[in-house]
Amino acid sequence: MVSLGSQVVAPEPSVSLRSRFRWQVFGVAAVALAADVVAKMVGVSTLTDGPVNLPGPLDLRLVRNSGVAFGVGSGLPVGLVIGATAAVTILLAVMIWRGGFPPLAGGLILGGAIANVLDRIGDGVVIDVFDLGWWPTFNLADVWITLGVAAVMLVAARAPAEPSETAS
């Protein structure tokens, strides 16, 4: 508080809460996007000779996925798939920008979605590199989106219920 004679003035916050939220989302999205891009680059450069079997359940395998989730829609025209995934990503970005998601969850979802759209724009496919054997091959962007959606669901499940209106 600053005293100006008889008037007490509260200092203005240097960054509004909404602006801080947006920077948090942007930061998480940028890190998620960068990690996915690096993982895909490493996968493309090192897995061309075939899969790498790692100890444990995870192997590395280069797959070029022309479809969307789990390869669904792999026969659709590339332009349609790119347009649809870009439109969904833009819709998500608007929802996240308006504060509809927790910052970490929103950033993970947005970073993963942007990473897959950018990957697809290059040659019409998304690079997948992680293989569990019993699950379709996936990439870090898929992990980020899944974790972000799970976080949103967890927050929604823990939110207090809205009081219902009862008819009198």
Active site residues: 128, 142
Tokens for 33, please give them: 């996007």
| 90: nearest Cα among 69, 70, 65, 117 | 117
Bridge partner list, 53 = 59
Q: How far apart are CA 59 and CA 62, in angstroms?
A: 10
Q: Are strands 59-65 and 7-9 parallel, antiparallel or unpaired?
A: unpaired
